[in-house]
Structure 1
Amino acid sequence: MADQNRPWTWPVPESSKRIKDNTSRQDAFERASGQAVYTRDVVLPGMLYAKTLTSPYAHAKIKNIDTGEAEKIIGVRDILRFDDPDIAGNRGVGADTGAMYSILALPGISDFYQHPMGVAVVADSEEVCDCALRAIKIEWEEQPFILDMEDSARPDAQRIMPEAQPMGFGFGFGMSDKESKQSPNMVMTEKREIGDVERGFSEADKIIEYTVKRAMNSPAGVEAMVCVAQWRDDFLDLWVHHQANPQRNLTTPGMSMGGPSAGMPFFGGGLGQAAPMPDKASTHWSKITVKFPYQGSWFGGLSWLAYSDLFIKLAVILAKRAGGRAVKLLYDESSFYCGGDEAGTYICKVGAKKDGTITAYHWHMVGVRNPAVDKTPECTKIPNIKGTQSWSFTNMGHQACFRHGAASCVPHNVMFDMVAAELGLDPTEVALKNDGCNGHDWEWVTKYQKENGFPQRHSLKEVIEIGKKAIEWDKKWHAPGSRQLKNGRMHGMGFTSINVWHWGRGAMSFVSNSFACLIMKDGKVTIVGLRCNMGTDTESGYRHCVAAELGLNYEDVLIQQQSSDNSAYSLAQPAGSTGTVNATFQLVIAARELKQKILESAGSMMGGGMPGFMFGMNGNAGSSAKKKPDDYDIRDSYVFEKANPEKRMHVSQVAGGFMQTNPIIVHPDVGSPISSMMSGAMMGGENYVMGRQAHFIEVEVDTETGMVYVTNVVCANDIGHLFNRKGAEGQQYGGAIMGLGRSATEEKIFCPETGVGLNFDHINYHFGTMNDYPVVDCHLIETHLGYGTYGAFGIGENIGAALSGITSGAIYNATKKWILDYPITPDRVLKALGRI
């Protein structure tokens, strides 16, 4: 067997290419026909409905609450107030990027507009819930609010969110005593430096300084948060709209060590859990059944936000009070609950040589991230890097990573555009000039590849060449502001490149392990494992992986849909850029173990001679000599003898069928990928991220209206190894539209006088649609340079993050004007042009 700790060296099965180009979705008919049941569609006999109050203020406290009139409404079954012992004090990890603080499940004070708080109503219908909420009389005490993080960080700022409690690293992480006293709202500061930044600046021929601003955006998903909970004595059934199994967070205190993994322990449970679940609404993990119905589009959003776990806890508590009736808890406003983690101010200083070599940079972010030390060091040879950060509370809502990586991609994109423009260089050449890994140049990386069993390939060079050819870059790229089209608009070209996401290695690999089960019965293999089916068709990739390793036809491998089996088996969650890379690692090992058992059966059945009907009408008796498993192989779902290929038998006759009534079952426990070879950043190892992505756009800028028309988009992604072409291309064209929306239109708008959100709906929040952008030209490259199975990388989230800042460079190329205030809307274009 190949080295289990080096999955990138595993040989790719010969049938892999044929399968991956011809996969069909197992759930295609259900989704296309409208028969798919989403969490919001779940209806159980006698089911009740529940909703919470959402705050009409940005920051306000409930002084008095009178629920008397609401209780009289016919159909109202229960009203739970924030000060009820069943819920008071129940809290969980805050909905932020670093699990730095905990928040209350049902607080008596609102921290942002539409904050779910105060009271929850349970009734016979949604309409009765709405009527009851309107009938509740509340005396509010409005509090001062802060929308600007720089204002929040001032020493004299009004304290906000006093009920938030430190956890994880806690408030003040990275701060000196003096810094921790600078503001009552400061969550953390961070300072990190690689190399000697000041020396790097002194070696530069050019110093460039600029500031980037990004407004808050939102996932704006179309299926708002929902959970159905039902108690059967001490047994709890859950139907969730979630991206990871919340089971651990609901288990009896003291029992969680024996229970199944929550999937993402830093986010909403496990290591970050603030307090155990109260006994009234907890039970042993073995009595909890979690079901994942189909999940509605999240547009790159998450559902393991902290409040998702608290939301589920609230549903469980309400169901416990309902005496055995199911309760469906709904949060209609949740699509705008959370903001993107890239919102904030980036103050940047960059040093570069005349040839485009970047000698040093320092980015300071006023926001929840420290992007300077995230992705850019992973994919460049830049030796001197400094990242600083200042993060304080605001009343705009919590922030988390969805379309993860944008906080790093935007300043990375702008830096390379700025250097190229200031020095009069082609940005693709500047990217190649600085390409490398963790300060090492590509010559060093090539040596590393050779020594560690990787192909010797230059990923960035490959994706740039493919993208440039597709968009005709060499023909169309020009000096800034030099080309006006016949329609009067200014023509521009934009480019960005960065590494691809490399989950399955290092710090994150241990939180997404798979423990799936393969069952062989009657010629079919079923993959059993709990996971979230959120529409990206990860499932087809899993089926492809198992079918190729076993030698089965793709149609002979199925996947069990949305059932938990008390979470005895699970697939890596979430299912985006980390799911496939981590899950296939265990699935390959499981498939090889299952294949060995099938071939052992073949050796005993075929080698010892069997009745003719087992081999077709003419009969084909086996030889009397005992055969070994190595004498056989499987192709196209037939077991055949290597020395005599025409002697074959369908797997349904060999394994798990006819003569064997019991199925063949395997479920190896293998741990995380490459955990034995390199444990990555968690244990001090190096992460050499060798895969790249490159994206190109062509725009027309109307200087009279400020409108920017994107006329051409090309995405080139090194995926390492491809398991599902259609799914990967879906990530490309879907992600491109998400990224362009973030760059050009998406923005949560708040009233400066009241702090109230003004566009928290799917009409006035302008995310991109298919009619807003051209058809995306997608290109996938397989270099096998990843640390995952067969050298795979993740692709989910990559494109939506990478394109989040791409329009600024294209607009500069068209107009010779920099606009670094995102999103770059028409009014900002006109302002830069001096027209308003």
Structure 2
Amino acid sequence: MDYRPWTWKVPENYRETQPSIRRQDAWEKVSGSAVYTRDITLPGMLYAKILTSPYAHARITRIDSTRAEALPGVRDVLRFTDPDIAHDSATGAWYEISGNYDILTLPGTADFFQHPMGVAITADSEEVCDRALRLLDIEWEEIPFILDMEESIRPDAPKIMADVRRTNAHAREPNTILTESFTLGDPDGGFAAADRVLRYKITREMNAPVAAEPAVCIAQWRGDFLDLWVHHHDIPHWFLVNPTEAREQTVPPLAEWSKITATLPYQGCMFGGFAWLAYSACFTRLAVILARRAGGRPIKLLYDESAHYCLGDDGGTYSCTVGAKKDGTITSAAWHVVGPRNALAEKTYEGTAIPNLRATCEWGLVNRGHQMCFRHGANSCVPHGVMFDRVAAEFGLDPTEVALRNDGCRGHDWDWVTRYQRENGFPERWSLREVIEKGKAAIDWDRKWHPPGTRKLPDGKMHGMGFMQVLEWTWQAPASAMSWACLMLRNGIVAIVGVRSDIGSDTESGARHIVASELGLKYEDTVIQERRSDNSSFYMWQPGGSFSTAYINTQLVMAARELKRKILEYAVSPTPAYNSSHFFKTAGPPAFPGLRPEELDIRDSFVFERARPENRKTLREVADIFWDADPALAHPVVGTVSGLTMDGNPDPTMYVMGRQAHFIEAAVDTETGMVDIMRIVCVNDVGHLFNPRGAQAQQYGGALMGLGRSATEEQVWCPRTGVGLNFDLAQYHIGTMNDYPPAECLVVESHLGYAAFGAFGIGENVGAAMSGITASAIYNATGKWVSDYPTTPDRVLRALGRI
């Protein structure tokens, strides 16, 4: 099969069978019987918890655990100085920002409030662990802390977090983790050509995932074999099977890949975040080390405060310079980010025709905690949306028109993209125009949008319309090492086998449906088996990055087509003969004698003759008899996209051609600063829609998460002590269904992605894209910019000059 998945033909019965999709996990979750990692109990289980720091920055100078060790039920007290743990450390995922530093698994110095460190206690129950931790007699030496990253990156700043090993080649003393720069075209020339040059600064306070199920890992040794039950987005093997060499002493591998059995029960929402941090690896490693000291008994390691450990990678400051013509054409942009990601070099570069860019970034350590992506992309989406709003406002233009005028890919305009589409087998479609037109019609934009500060509602509040657009991700096709599930046909049922974390987003139903459609099965004749690793022989891409559906289903289409060919060959082949010490069977006639595979097809789980559909047999009748001699298995490896060209020349770049657009209607109370969202419209170009209900759930869920981030979510620290002040759900204000109206969720299917049938992902898209949209509506309502996020009432009042 030519590996150009966007050109593959969609199965004929695909749409008509889509309404039959039912979630495999529906009964368990609706009935309350679903088992999550924290629900797991095992015979003889012990429990473990870690000391969390009451200080923002302090080192342990003395520790006396006598009273804790004497407490009935305490089984083990592991201190940071113990040889079993003293040099153990981990680095985050190499493909994420957490791969830029290495941290100790159990350090003796606390780097932020509630930092898990110092001591881990194993006991007969959680309650005994809690009591024992309170009995520890600890002397602390407090160390000066820094909460402000702009202060941290200064060359004369005091060094903080000395135990963190910064591994990036562009790290800088004393506290900078990395510096980055990127240039496209001639930025200074672009500014000179502009009619106006705008300068402004955006700040984004730190926010947290605030996930529903705190961190937990269960580990048990059986001799050299390790059993794990994890709460994570991915299998744990990656950070257990290699030596760690970042410290003074090399730590050998904790386990061998083939001796690890991992179970991933249902996962309470994580939203990425903690899963990709270096500490998620440390946490699992600590559970494994504690279990090794427990003499074969299982250990359940718990970290109750983990919901606030991870901080969003959008936290930071964005100093922006933008040049534009009077018609809204952006000629040049330069953003300097003090934060983890070089935002302008990401989605704005990938998804606009802006020809001149200068992107710089400095990321420094701060005594708040470690930053990581969750609902990833807000770091790019917030300044991206603000830029288009600012340019539109400067020239009195409709922001949707400014967005269309600047649409393109990597500095190329849409006419160029259209030629690329034509040359590489894509439909010739303009995704941004389609999503904007659909969204504008739904929210009645042309009638409701108005110049800023010009429409007052009957109740005295000011009416505002907000808009945001950005590219749709992920767009790539999977490469060979990303997903390798196996299809197994037995007893008329096809099982999709491959370990994967189920975080509730229902990738599973779309996977089952495409396999059923490609094979010609009833949807109910498919199942998915994903929560046990079985040595991780088969694997489906983990949740995260909006990759899952596109990556998993592309490989599954190949597997289903391979398995279908095998079934049709069974149908015209003599049944196998075999002779063993226990069984003897002679060969039998084919199920469809005298026919060729191409004369047969499969529909509704029946193999039938195309010319005479009444001549049919069940899938089980055809295939079961071959299992012992030639099992009905398929697990192909995907290829590598190649042969892409532009204007006849090789061009391997996968350009991002899909877009999303979001609209809100709001009322702003200029007396209190409160912003009421009255309507929400989300439009996503998903390329190809595998699971309608799953996509819609990601849209409306993402809308609430994005609006929460935009309007209310921030972690607050005491500037005097560095202690966290709102690390609970009473004071940390996440967006909920009670805060916002239902979202109207719409999709476009342009087939402009590189995965199967031109699919894109959707999971992270909406939650990231809408993470700054409230400022757009506030400006349209009041004519004032709120450039500090979240746009809480006090910030609105400050922008209005009322406080």
TM range (shorter): over 0.9
Task: Name which of 208, 233, 236 aligns with 1:243.
Answer: 233
2:671 corresponds to: 704
Q: Does 1:828 align with 2:795?
A: yes
Please give the per-residue CA displacement for 1:548-579, whole angstroms capped at 9, x wherever unaligned.
11111111110014111111111011355111
Matches within 5 A, 1:477-556: 477-505=449-477, 509-510=478-479, 513-556=482-525
> After superposition, where does 1:120-199 map in structure 2 within 5 Å?
120-167=120-167, 169-172=168-171, 180=172, 183-199=173-189
Rounded to whole Å, the distance in 2 between the matches of 1:306 and 1:743 is: 27
Q: Return the offset for 1:161.
A: 1.1
Distance 1:208 1:248 in 2: 46
- Match of 2:82? 84
Change over 3 Å in CA distance of 1:124–1:677 after alignment to 2: farther
Name the counterpart of 1:392: 364
Aligned to 1:177: none
1:60 partnered with 2:39: no
8 A Cα contact 1:219 1:339, kept in partner:
yes
For residue 775 of structure 1, the aligned residue among 726, 742, 746 is: 742
In structure 1, the partner of 2:579 is: none
Q: Which of 200, 206, 220 lines up with 1:216 in the alignment?
A: 206
Matched, 1:638 2:636: no
* Partner residue, 1:258: none
Asked if 1:111 is matched to 2:111, the reply is yes
Q: How far did residue 275 of structure 1 move?
A: 9.9
Alpha-carbon spacing, 1:231–1:817, altered in 2? closer, same or farther (3 Å): same
Distance between the aligned counterparts of 1:333 and 1:252, measured in 2?
Answer: 28
Give the match's secondary structure for 2:771: helix
- The answer (yes or no) to whether the contact 1:512–1:572 under 8 Å persists in 2 is no
Distance 1:757-1:624 versus aligned 2 partners, 3 A rule: closer
Aligned to 2:229, what secondary structure does the other structure show?
strand
Distance 1:102 1:622, change over 3 A: closer
Equivalent residues in 2 for 1:332-351 (5 A)?
332-351=304-323
Alpha-carbon distance in 1 for matches of 2:9, 2:420: 20
Q: Secondary structure at the match of 1:804?
A: coil
The answer to whether the 8 A contact 1:295-1:532 is kept is: yes
Matched residue of 1:655: which SS? Answer: helix
Secondary structure at the residue paired with 2:556? helix
SS of 2:572 mapped into structure 1 = helix
Distance 1:624 1:714, change over 3 A: closer
Q: How does 1:427-466 map to 2 (within 5 A)?
A: 427-466=399-438
How far the C-alpha of 1:512 sits from its partner, in A, is 6.2
1:802 aligns with 2:769: yes
CA distance in 2, matches of 1:13, 1:794: 20
Q: Secondary structure at 2:276's aligned position in 1?
A: coil
Q: Structure 2: how far apart are the matches of 1:816 and 1:324? A: 66
Matched, 1:627 2:599: no
Opposite residue 231 of structure 1, the aligned amino acid is: W
Give the aligned partner of residue 701 of structure 2.
Answer: 734
Q: Distance in 1 between matches of 2:630 and 2:400?
A: 55
- From the superposition, tell whether residues 451 and 94 of structure 1 become closer, same or farther in structure 2 (CA, over 3 Å): closer
Which amino acid is 2:742 matched to?
Answer: V
What code does the residue aligned with 1:550 have?
L
Change (3 A) 1:233 1:674: same
2:622 to 654, 670, 683: 654
Question: Residues of 2 paired with 1:304 and 1:98: CA distance?
Answer: 7
Other structure's SS at 2:56 match? coil
Q: How does 1:345-364 map to 2 (within 5 A)?
A: 345-364=317-336
- What is the aligned counterpart of 1:40 among 34, 38, 41? 38
Residue identity matched to 1:593: E
Shift of 1:283: 2.6
> What residue identity is the alignment partner of 2:10?
V
Query: SS of 2:190's equivalent?
Result: helix
Which among 25, 35, 44 is matched to residue 27 of structure 1? 25
Q: Distance in 1 between matches of 2:463 and 2:529?
A: 51
CA distance in 2, matches of 1:115, 1:656: 56
TM-score, length-scaled by structure 1: 0.91
Q: CA deviation at 1:393?
A: 1.0
CA 94–563 in structure 1, closer or farther in 2 if over 3 Å, else same: closer
| 1:225 and 2:223 matched | no
Instruction: State the number of aligned residues.
Output: 784
Which residue in the other structure is 2:446 paired with? Answer: 474
Q: Name the SS for the 2:97 alignment partner.
A: coil
Once residues 390 and 287 of structure 2 are traced to their aligned partners in structure 1, the CA distance between those partners, rounded to angstroms, is: 50
Q: Which runs of 5+ in 2 are unaligned?
A: 576-588
Contact map agreement 2:643 2:652 (CA 8 A) in 1 = no
Please report the TM-score for the alignment, with normalisation by the length of structure 2: 0.95
Cα deviation 1:741-798 (Å, max 9, x = unaligned)? 1100000000000001000111111000100000000001111000001100010100
Q: Distance in 2 between matches of 1:322 and 1:829?
A: 55
State the partner residue of 1:743: 710
Q: Describe the shift of the 1:229–1:663 C-alpha distance in structure 2 as closer, same or farther (beyond 3 A).
A: farther
Asked if structure 2 preserves the Cα contact closer than 8 Å seen for 1:100 and 1:171, the reply is no
Q: Is the CA contact 1:339–1:400 (under 8 Å) kept in the aligned structure 2?
A: yes
Task: Give 2:584's aligned residue.
Answer: none
**TM-superposed deviation, 1:100:** 1.0
- Describe how 1:68-79 pairs up with structure 2 within 5 A: 68-79=66-77
SS at match of 1:296: coil
- What does the per-residue CA deviation read over 1:452-508, in whole Å, with 9 as the maximum and x for residues that have no partner? 111111100100010000000001000100000001100000000000012534xxx
Cα deviation for residue 155 of structure 1 reads 2.3
Alpha-carbon spacing, 1:719–1:21, altered in 2? closer, same or farther (3 Å): farther
Q: Please say if residues 536 and 576 of structure 1, whose CA atoms lie closer than 8 Å, have aligned partners that are also in contact.
A: no
Structure 1 pair 71–430 and aligned structure 2 pair: CA distance change class (3 A): same
- SS of structure 2 residue aligned to 1:414: helix
Deviations 1:380-408 (A, max 9, x none): 11100010111111101000111111100
Q: Classify 1:72/1:141 alpha carbon distance in 2 versus 1 (closer, same or farther; 3 Å).
A: same
Q: 1:406 aligns with which of 378, 395, 403?
A: 378
Contact 1:413/1:806 (8 A) holds in 2: yes
CA RMSD after TM alignment: 2.0
SS at match of 1:475: helix
User: Which position in structure 2 is the counterpart of 1:291?
Assistant: 263
Change (3 A) 1:470 1:512: farther
Question: Are 1:6 and 1:677, in contact at CA under 8 Å, matched by a contact in 2?
Answer: no
Q: Which residue of 2 aligns with 1:175?
A: none
Aligned: 1:306 with 2:278: yes
Task: Tell me the secondary structure at the aligned position of residue 645 of structure 1.
Answer: coil
**8 Å Cα contact 1:294-1:533 kept in structure 2:** yes
Instruction: Show CA shifts across 1:177-199 (max 9, x none).
Output: xxx4xx51122212210000000
Is the 2:480–2:638 Cα contact (8 Å) retained in structure 1?
Answer: no
Whole-Å Cα distance in 1 between the matches of residues 256 and 605 of structure 2? 42
User: 2:297 & 2:332 partners in 1: Cα distance?
Assistant: 62
1:559 & 1:662 partners in 2: Cα distance? 24
Q: 1:423 aligns with which of 392, 395, 406?
A: 395
Is the partner of 2:161 in helix, strand or coil? coil
State the shift of 1:293 in Å.
0.3
Indicate if the aligned counterparts of 2:521 and 2:606 stay in contact, CA closer than 8 A: yes
Cα offset, 1:107, TM superposition: 0.1
Match of 1:587 in 2: 556
